[in-house]
C-alpha cells in the first residue's frame, strides 16, 4: 500500500484506499468536503448509546442486521440508504439525528466534547511544527539521510491525545462506510446550534450529490482526468529535466508552478467521486504524492520511463488498440461503439482488436506490442476517457464511451486527442473569445490553453468533434465563448480529428510505396484497408487530392456477394444484377410518396416491387461502413450486416393473385409476403460517403430514424411505400431483427418503408485555381444546370488571404430555407463553412487562411448560378498588421472584416460584447486593439 504526502513531505492519511463499492463515492466526498475535518476521527470506536438512538431515528429496512458488533457498519449503511432522499425529508431526518446526538451526548460523563473546542487546534499547531522541522531537514539532507522520528516536535505530535499520528505508515485502510459512521460518532458533544448547521449542510450536500449523479462523472472524464494527465506530464517533464543535472542531495522544487498546478488538479480529482480502484491506478506514481523514501528509490526510474511515454505522445504501437467489453455493455451499446470504431478504421490505420488472456499470454504479447494496455469499455454515469495510451501494466484503462458520435469523441481522447477549445494554436484566438466569467468554476480549466510543449496542434478547427459548444459547463443563461464568426458551425466535424490521429500514429509509414503525395490538406493512410489519400470534399484521391473529382476511378463496382437492391424505374445499375418482381394484393390502403422513382407501381389494392438481385460465388466481400439496408439473398447476410424480417398479411382473391417473377431475394412469397433484410449500422450516413459506381441510378433501403446514406458523386431522393395489412389473413403481420419498416402511428395497420434513390450528379465541373502576385484576381462563372455537384478550390501562397465578392448571385431558395445551396469554406478547406442562397449576396468574404473552397449543389429543374471575383488581399487592405496575424492594430481604418462600415460606438449597445458591458470590455481588448464593431458580435478582428 502506498501512502500519500502533503505539500511539505509529511505522509498524510491514506485516502486512496477508501472503497466505493458499497455507496456513492460522490456522496462520501461531498460529506468530506462539507463537514469540517475535526469530525473525521482516526479510530473506529462508537458510542452504543448514540448508535441505538440513531437506530431509532433513522429509517431502517427489513434487511437490517441486529448484530451489535456491526453497529458501525450498520449505521453507515443507514446513511448510505439516504442517497436520493428528497431534500425536505433529508432535512427532517438530519435535524432529528442532530437532536438525538445532542441528547445522547448530554448523558455522557467523559470530556470528548472538549475535543471540538481545543484539541484540534492543539493538533494542528503540533503538526505544523513537525512539518516545518521536516521541511528544514530536507533542504540540506544528503543521500540516505532520514529525519529524526523522535525529535521533540515529532514526539509532541505523537502525544497529542486521541488523534492518530498522520505519519504512521501502519494505518489500516478504512472503508468509506466505516469512515462515515466514525464521523457521526465524532459529532458527540458538539453544541446543538453547530450540530444543526452541520447536519443541514450535510443534507444539502447529499441532495446536491444525488441530483448531480448524471453529470459530474461525465464532466470529469471530459475535463478533469485529461487535465490531470496533462498536468502530471508537465510536472514529470520538469522533474526529468531537473534530474539530468541535479547533484547529490539536491531535491526538485515541490512548489514550482507545474507541481502546484498538479497538486490543485489532483485534489479536485480526489474529490470527484472517481471509483477508488480507478483513482488509485491513476495516481500510482504521481510525483507529488509518493513518500520521500519511495521517491528516493523509484523516482528516477519512473521519471525516465514516463519521459519515453511523453515523447511517444501516448501513441498506440502500430495503431492497434486491444479492447474488452465489461458485462454491463449491452448489445445495443456494442453496436454504437462498433459504429465509432469502424469510422476510425475506415479512414485511418487504427485497428481495434479484442483483448484476451489465454493461460499467461495476452493479446498484446501475441501481437508483439511493447505495452500491456487495452481499452476496457464500462458503463459510467457519463461519457469519459483517459487521453492517450497510459501504458498500464495490467487492468486496462477504463473508457465510458457512450455510443455513436459521442463515442468517436471518447475514442479520439483514447487515441491522444485533446479538446480543441484548449488548443495552443494561435488561430484559436482569431476564432473565439472565451468568457471565463460564464464558466462553472470547477470547469474553468477545461477552457484554458494547453501548453504547446505537451500538445501538438496541426491547426485549429472550430467545427471539430473535439470542440465544446458554447453551452458546455456554462452558467445558467450564459455562453462560455463567443464565436467571432458566428455564422460558422461549431463541433461535430471528423475530418481533421481523423487526419491528426492518422499522422500521430504514422499511418503514412504503412504506405511507403504509394506513388502519390496527398496535398491540399489531404493525408495518406489506409482507406477501406488499402493505401490511399483521404481528401477534402470534392477532390479526387486518385490524383493525390490535386484535381477535382469528376469521374469514377477505374475498376469501381458494387461489392461481390449475394444480396438484392430495390430496382429503380430505369432498371438495375449494371449487368451483374438480375431483375425480379413481387406483386402483393391487399385491402386497399396502400400508398406511395409523391416523388417516386422506384421500379414497379403502387395502387390502393396492389403493390408491385422490383428487385436487382446479385449472386456471385463469394459472399465474403465487406461493404464499407454505412447506414442502410439491402435484401438478403442466399440465406445469410454479408459481413457487417444484421438480419431482420417483415411479415405482411396480404389479401389475394380469385380475381387478383399475389405473384412473382424472375430472381427474388430471400423470403416467403405465397398468399402472404415475407421479406428478409440485411441492415448495416456501421457508420454515419451524413458524414462519410460510400464509394460506389455513381454514373447510373440505383437505390438502397433507408434505415429507420437515419438520414439516407451519402454516396460520393450522387444526389439522393427519398421514396416511400405504405403497404396495408389485411385483417382477413390468417397470418399476423410481424417484424423481427434489424429491419427498415416502421408504422406512421400506433393505430395504423400499414407498414411503411423508405427508400433512398440515388441519381448521378453532374460532377464534370469545378477547378483548382491558384492566385498569387502574378495572377492576383480571378473570376469564376458557375454552370447553370440541374443536379450539379461542383467544387472549386482557390489557393493563395501560405500566409496570404483571399477576398471573395459575388457580381452575380442567383441560388434558389432564401436564407434559412435553401433549395439549392452554395457552401463557402473560408477557414480551412476541410472545415464546414457557411451555406448561401437567395437572389443576392452583397457582403465581402475574407478568408481566414490562404484558401477559399466553394461547393455548388443544385437539385431538380434549377436555374441557380453565380459569378464570383476572388483576389489576393494585400496588407494595405487590412485594418490590422498581417505580420502578427491581427494581434495589433495597424492604421485608422473604420471597416469590419467583410469591409462594411463600422457602427458608431453609441450604436452597439445591443451587441453581445460592447463598450457598455464593462465586465467584458477590458478582457476582449487584451493583446488586440483592433475591434471594429459589427452587428451581432460587437467586435471582430
Tens-digit pLDDT profile for residues 738-793? 999 998 777 778 899 999 999 999 999 999 999 999 999 999 999 999 999 999 99
Of the two residues 445 and 823, the one the predictor is more confident about is: 823
pLDDT score for 69 = 39
Q: What percentage of residues in the chain have a pLDDT greater than 70?
A: 63
**How many CB atoms are located within 10 Å of the residue 52 CB?**
15
pLDDT score for 236 = 72
Rounded CA separation 925/429 (Å): 12
What tens digit of pLDDT does each residue of 8-18 get? 232 333 333 33
Q: Which of 58-72, 510-524, 591-605, 909-923 has the lowest mean pLDDT?
A: 58-72
User: Could you tell me the fold of the domain covering 766-872?
Assistant: Jelly Rolls (2.60.120)
**Per-residue confidence at 154, pLDDT binned at 50, 70, 90?**
confident
pLDDT score for 363 = 95
Exactly one of 71, 133, 237, 410 is catalytic; name it: 410
**Is a pLDDT exceeding 90 seen at residue 582?**
yes
Q: Is 260 a catalytic site residue? A: no
pLDDT score for 98 = 53
Does pTM top 0.85 for this prediction? no
pLDDT score for 47 = 37
Candidates 909, 899, 885, 910; CA nearest to 932 is: 899
Return all residues near 142 (Cβ < 8 A) that are at least 6 apart.
Answer: 248, 249
Of the two residues 861 and 919, the one the predictor is more confident about is: 861
**Per-residue confidence at 249, pLDDT binned at 50, 70, 90?**
low
Q: Which residues pair with 715 in a beta bridge?
A: 759
Q: Do 351 and 320 meet the contact criterion of CB atoms below 8 Å apart?
A: yes
Of the two residues 924 and 661, the one the predictor is more confident about is: 661
Q: Domain spans of the chain? A: 312-505, 507-548, 563-756, 766-872, 875-940
What tens digit of pLDDT does each residue of 221-237 get? 445 676 677 677 677 76
Of the two residues 663 and 273, the one the predictor is more confident about is: 663
User: Could you tell me the fold of the domain covering 312-505?
Assistant: Collagenase (Catalytic Domain) (3.40.390)
**Is a pLDDT exceeding 60 seen at residue 105?**
no
Question: Any binding-site annotation on 853?
Answer: no
User: How far is C-alpha 387 from the chain's CA centre?
Assistant: 11
What tens digit of pLDDT does each residue of 198-219 get? 666 555 544 444 333 333 333 3
Question: Any binding-site annotation on 715?
Answer: no
Rounded CA separation 894/523 (Å): 41
How much is the average pLDDT of 716-728? 93
What tens digit of pLDDT does each residue of 798-816 get? 989 999 999 999 999 998 8
SS (H, E, C) 320-356: EEEEEECCCCCHHHHHHHHHHHHHHHHHCCCEEEECC
Of the two residues 34 and 408, the one the predictor is more confident about is: 408
Q: Do 862 and 843 meet the contact criterion of CB atoms below 8 Å apart?
A: no
Backbone angles phi, psi at 238, to 5 degrees: -65, -45
How much is the average pLDDT of 662-679? 96
Of the two residues 392 and 708, the one the predictor is more confident about is: 708
Q: Which of 420-434, 521-535, 587-601 has the lowest mean pLDDT?
A: 420-434
Of the two residues 625 and 115, the one the predictor is more confident about is: 625
Q: Which of 88-102, 481-495, 690-704 has the highest mean pLDDT?
A: 690-704
Question: Any binding-site annotation on 413?
Answer: yes
Mean pLDDT of the chain: 76
Work out the angle at residue 755's Cα, subtended by the Cα atoms of residues 751 and 758, and round it to the nearest 5 degrees: 175
**Is a pLDDT exceeding 80 seen at residue 925?**
no
Rounded CA separation 730/717 (Å): 36
**Is a pLDDT exceeding 70 seen at residue 246?**
no
Candidates 590, 569, 592, 570; CA nearest to 720 is: 592
**Per-residue confidence at 44, pLDDT binned at 50, 70, 90?**
very low
pLDDT score for 45 = 34
Q: What percentage of residues in the chain have a pLDDT greater than 90?
A: 45
How much is the average pLDDT of 481-506? 91
Q: Which of 94-98, 244-248, 850-854 has the lowest mean pLDDT?
A: 94-98
**Per-residue confidence at 507, pLDDT binned at 50, 70, 90?**
very high
Candidates 650, 794, 789; CA nearest to 731 is: 650
How much is the average pLDDT of 533-539? 96
**Is a pLDDT exceeding 80 seen at residue 365?**
yes
Rounded CA separation 227/220 (Å): 9
Q: Which of 282-291, 460-469, 727-736, 870-879 has the highest mean pLDDT?
A: 460-469
**Is a pLDDT exceeding 80 seen at residue 93?**
no
How much is the average pLDDT of 250-274? 78
pLDDT score for 886 = 54
CA 861 → CA 547, 548, 786, 838, 864, distances in Å?
28, 24, 5, 16, 9
**Is a pLDDT exceeding 60 seen at residue 337?**
yes
Q: Which of 374-378, 431-435, 871-875 has the highest mean pLDDT?
A: 374-378
Rounded CA separation 912/506 (Å): 44
pLDDT score for 376 = 95
pLDDT score for 284 = 67
pLDDT score for 623 = 87
Rounded CA separation 551/259 (Å): 58
pLDDT score for 382 = 81
pLDDT score for 635 = 93
**Is a pLDDT exceeding 80 seen at residue 95?**
no
Radius of gyration of the chain (CA): 34
Amino acid at each position: 500500500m502506498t501512502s500519500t504526502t502533503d505539500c511539505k513531505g509529511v505522509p498524510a492519511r491514506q485516502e486512496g484506499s477508501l472503497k466505493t463499492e458499497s455507496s456513492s463515492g460522490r456522496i462520501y466526498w461531498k460529506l468530506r468536503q462539507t463537514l469540517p475535518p475535526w469530525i473525521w476521527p482516526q479510530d473506529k470506536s462508537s458510542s452504543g448509546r448514540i448508535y441505538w438512538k440513531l437506530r431509532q431515528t433513522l429509517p431502517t429496512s427489513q434487511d437490517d442486521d441486529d448484530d451489535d458488533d456491526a453497529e458501525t457498519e450498520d449505521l453507515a449503511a443507514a446513511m448510505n440508504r439516504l442517497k436520493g432522499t428528497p431534500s425536505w425529508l433529508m432535512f427532517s431526518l438530519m435535524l432529528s439525528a442532530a437532536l438525538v446526538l445532542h441528547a445522547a451526548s448530554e448523558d455522557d460523563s467523559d470530556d470528548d466534547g472538549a475535543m471540538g473546542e481545543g484539541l484540534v487546534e492543539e493538533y494542528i499547531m503540533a503538526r505544523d511544527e513537525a512539518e516545518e522541522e521536516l521541511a528544514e531537514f530536507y533542504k540540506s539532507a544528503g543521500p540516505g539521510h532520514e529525519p529524526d522520528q523522535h525529535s521533540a516536535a515529532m514526539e509532541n505530535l505523537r502525544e497529542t491525545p486521541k488523534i492518530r499520528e498522520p505519519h504512521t505508515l501502519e494505518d489500516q485502510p478504512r472503508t468509506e462506510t466505516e469512515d462515515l459512521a466514525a464521523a457521526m460518532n465524532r459529532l458527540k458533544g458538539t453544541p446543538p446550534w453547530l450540530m444543526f448547521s452541520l447536519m443541514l449542510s450535510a443534507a444539502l450536500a447529499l441532495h446536491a450529490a444525488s441530483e448531480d449523479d448524471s453529470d459530474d462523472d461525465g464532466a470529469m472524464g471530459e475535463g478533469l482526468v485529461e487535465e490531470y494527465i496533462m498536468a502530471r506530464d508537465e510536472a514529470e517533464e520538469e522533474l526529468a529535466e531537473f534530474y539530468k543535472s541535479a547533484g547529490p542531495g539536491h531535491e526538485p522544487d515541490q512548489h514550482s508552478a507545474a507541481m502546484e498546478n498538479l497538486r490543485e488538479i489532483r485534489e479536485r480529482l480526489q474529490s470527484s467521486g472517481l471509483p477508488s480502484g480507478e483513482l488509485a491506478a491513476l495516481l500510482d506514481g504521481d510525483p507529488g504524492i509518493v513518500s520521500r523514501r519511495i521517491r528516493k528509490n523509484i523516482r528516477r526510474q519512473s521519471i525516465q520511463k514516463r519521459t519515453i511515454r511523453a515523447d511517444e505522445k501516448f501513441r498506440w504501437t502500430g495503431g492497434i488498440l486491444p479492447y474488452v467489453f465489461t458485462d454491463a455493455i449491452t448489445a445495443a451499446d456494442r453496436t454504437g461503439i462498433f459504429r465509432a470504431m469502424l469510422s476510425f478504421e475506415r479512414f485511418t490505420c487504427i485497428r481495434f482488436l479484442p483483448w484476451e488472456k489465454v493461460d499467461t499470454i495476452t493479446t498484446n504479447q501475441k501481437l508483439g506490442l511493447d505495452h500491456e494496455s487495452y481499452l476496457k469499455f464500462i458503463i459510467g454515469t457519463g461519457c469519459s476517457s483517459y487521453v492517450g495510451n497510459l501504458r498500464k501494466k495490467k487492468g486496462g484503462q477504463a473508457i465510458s464511451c457512450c455510443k455513436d458520435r459521442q463515442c468517436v469523441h471518447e475514442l479520439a481522447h483514447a487515441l491522444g486527442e485533446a479538446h480543441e477549445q484548449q488548443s495552443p494554436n494561435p488561430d484559436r484566438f482569431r476564432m473565439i473569445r472565451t468568457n471565463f466569467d460564464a464558466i462553472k468554476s470547477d470547469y474553468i480549466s477545461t477552457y484554458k490553453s494547453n501548453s504547446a510543449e505537451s500538445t501538438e496542434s496541426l491547426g485549429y478547427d472550430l467545427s471539430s468533434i473535439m470542440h465544446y459548444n458554447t453551452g458546455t459547463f456554462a452558467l445558467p443563461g450564459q455562453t462560455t465563448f463567443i464565436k467571432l464568426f458566428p455564422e460558422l458551425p461549431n463541433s461535430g466535424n471528423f475530418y481533421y480529428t481523423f487526419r491528426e490521429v492518422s499522422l500521430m500514429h504514422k499511418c503514412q509509414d504503412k504506405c511507403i510505396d504509394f506513388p502519390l503525395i496527398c496535398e491540399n490538406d489531404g493525408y495518406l493512410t489506409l482507406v477501406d484497408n488499402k493505401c490511399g489519400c483521404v481528401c477534402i470534399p470534392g477532390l479526387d484521391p486518385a490524383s493525390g487530392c490535386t484535381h477535382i473529382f469528376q469521374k469514377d476511378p477505374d475498376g469501381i463496382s458494387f461489392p461481390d456477394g449475394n444480396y438484392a437492391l430495390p430496382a429503380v424505374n430505369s432498371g438495375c445499375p449494371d449487368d451483374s444484377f438480375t431483375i425480379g418482381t413481387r406483386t402483393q394484393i391487399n385491402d386497399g390502403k396502400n400508398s406511395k410518396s409523391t416523388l417516386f422513382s422506384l421500379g414497379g407501381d403502387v395502387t390502393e389494392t396492389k403493390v408491385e416491387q422490383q428487385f436487382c438481385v446479385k449472386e456471385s460465388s463469394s459472399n465474403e466481400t465487406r461493404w464499407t461502413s454505412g447506414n442502410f439496408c439491402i435484401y438478403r439473398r442466399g440465406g445469410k447476410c454479408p459481413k457487417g450486416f444484421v438480419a431482420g424480417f417483415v411479415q405482411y398479411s396480404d389479401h389475394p382473391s380469385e380475381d387478383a393473385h399475389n405473384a412473382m417473377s424472375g430472381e427474388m431475394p430471400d423470403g416467403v412469397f405465397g398468399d402472404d409476403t415475407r421479406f428478409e433484410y440485411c441492415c448495416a449500422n456501421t457508420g454515419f450516413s451524413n458524414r462519410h460517403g460510400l464509394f460506389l459506381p455513381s454514373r447510373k441510378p440505383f437505390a438502397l433501403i433507408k434505415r429507420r430514424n437515419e438520414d439516407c446514406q451519402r454516396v460520393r458523386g450522387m444526389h439522393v431522393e427519398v421514396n416511400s411505400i405504405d403497404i396495408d395489412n389485411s385483417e382477413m389473413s390468417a397470418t399476423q403481420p410481424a417484424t423481427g431483427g434489424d429491419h427498415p419498416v416502421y408504422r406512421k402511428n400506433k393505430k395504423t395497420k400499414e407498414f411503411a418503408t423508405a427508400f433512398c434513390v440515388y441519381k448521378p450528379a453532374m460532377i464534370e465541373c469545378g477547378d483548382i485555381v491558384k492566385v498569387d502576385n502574378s495572377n492576383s484576381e480571378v473570376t469564376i462563372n458557375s454552370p447553370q444546370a440541374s443536379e450539379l455537384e461542383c467544387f472549386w478550390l482557390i489557393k493563395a501562397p501560405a500566409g496570404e488571404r483571399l477576398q471573395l465578392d459575388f457580381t452575380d448571385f442567383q441560388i434558389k431558395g432564401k436564407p434559412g430555407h435553401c433549395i439549392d445551396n452554395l457552401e463557402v469554406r473560408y477557414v480551412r478547406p476541410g472545415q464546414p463553412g457557411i451555406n448561401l442562397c437567395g437572389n443576392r449576396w452583397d457582403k465581402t468574404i475574407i478568408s481566414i487562411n490562404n484558401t477559399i473552397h466553394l461547393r455548388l449543389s443544385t437539385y431538380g429543374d434549377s436555374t441557380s448560378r453565380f459569378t464570383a471575383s476572388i483576389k489576393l488581399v494585400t496588407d494595405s487592405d487590412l485594418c490590422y498588421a498581417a505580420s502578427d496575424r491581427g494581434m495589433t492594430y495597424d492604421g485608422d481604418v473604420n471597416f469590419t472584416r467583410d469591409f462594411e462600415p463600422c457602427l458608431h460606438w453609441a450604436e452597439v449597445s445591443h451587441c453581445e460584447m460592447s463598450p457598455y458591458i464593462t465586465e467584458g470590455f477590458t478582457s476582449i481588448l487584451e493583446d488586440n486593439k483592433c475591434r471594429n464593431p459589427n452587428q451581432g458580435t460587437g467586435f471582430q478582428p
